[in-house]
């Protein structure tokens, strides 16, 4: 395969903390190869060989496990991985999150326009929440990529009555190595970090790795619970239902890929 052929391929890396958050992904690709790094396995294959003028879209899929370290490790491995000599063009991390903003409901989709690590504190050398390696507290996705994905969801989710997803939101998501199920902690977090709307355990770590490696990235979250005393039970019940629909959310975006998104990713 020559260099021009490689450049015309699109290779998307899809990550989630748990298999349920990617659903039927592995059954949707073919010519699958797999490579393992300890307990992390990356599955790669062709999603649609006849798409975009007969140029295949490659997918590499993995689940990282919970937490920032596991997510950062998986993102690093995925970015370093290639399939048919093509490296990853985009990192997409998807999964569930807990609501901080009371307006959010179960099955709402949140596409963050900014992420922060709420347990990062290198003060007094740096201001609280500042990531020393980036010298900034908030990590933001590519504006064009963010807008494209938000537009696709706004256009296609609401009219689709076959999917359980509800409202589409954007805003600040906070990442930390805690499963929070305490309303008091949520109130403290809300007071400490202005405009935070949801919390989770991996997104900002993936975003940091991708930004430092100069790879486009996007995070997509679906609300599973309200991070209160009922969160563990709500989370478990939600996950069992979510795994039936999680791939549909990813596939909706894959089916929407056009020359516009290719130009954004090839810049």
The tens digit of pLDDT for each residue in 175-220 reads 999 887 778 888 888 888 989 999 999 999 999 999 999 999 999 9
| Cα 247 from Cα 98, distance rounded (Å) | 20
| The two three-digit tokens of residue 232, written as one number | 């563990």
CATH (domain of 45): 3.40.50.1580
Model confidence at 261, pLDDT cuts 50, 70, 90, reads confident
Domain of residue 20 covers: 3-266
* Pick from 254, 266, 264: nearest CA to 45: 254
Q: Specify the number of domains making up the chain.
A: 1
The 10s digit of each residue's pLDDT in 137-164 is 999 999 999 999 999 999 888 766 688 8
| Residue 143 neighbours by CB distance under 10 Å | 10
Over the stretch 79-102, which tens digit does the pLDDT of each residue have?
A: 999 999 999 999 999 999 999 999
């Amino acid at each position: 395969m020559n260099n021009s052929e490689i450049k015309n391929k699109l290779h998307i890396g899809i990550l989630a903390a748990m298999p349920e958050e990617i659903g039927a992904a592995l059954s949707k690709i073919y010519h699958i190869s797999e490579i393992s790094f300890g307990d992390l396995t990356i599955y790669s294959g062709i999603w649609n060989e006849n798409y975009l003028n007969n140029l295949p879209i490659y997918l590499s899929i993995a689940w990282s496990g919970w937490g920032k370290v596991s997510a950062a490790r998986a993102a690093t491995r995925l970015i370093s991985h290639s399939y048919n000599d093509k490296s990853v063009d985009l990192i997409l991390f998807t999964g569930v999150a807990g609501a901080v903003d009371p307006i959010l409901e179960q099955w709402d989709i949140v596409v963050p326009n900014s992420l922060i690590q709420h347990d990062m504190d290198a003060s007094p050398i740096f201001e609280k929440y500042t990531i020393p390696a980036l010298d900034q507290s908030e990590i933001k996705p590519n504006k064009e990529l963010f807008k494209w994905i938000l537009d696709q969801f706004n256009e296609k989710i609401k009219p689709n009555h076959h999917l359980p997803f509800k409202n589409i939101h954007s805003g600040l998501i906070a990442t930390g190595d805690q499963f929070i199920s305490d309303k008091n902690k949520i109130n403290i977090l809300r007071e400490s970090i202005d405009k935070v709307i949801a919390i989770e355990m991996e997104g900002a770590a993936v975003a940091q790795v991708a930004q430092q490696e100069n790879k486009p990235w996007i995070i997509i979250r679906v609300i599973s619970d309200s991070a209160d005393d009922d969160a563990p039970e709500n989370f478990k019940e939600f996950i069992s239902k979510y795994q039936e629909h999680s791939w549909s959310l990813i596939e909706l975006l894959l089916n929407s890929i056009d020359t516009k998104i290719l130009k954004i990713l090839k810049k």
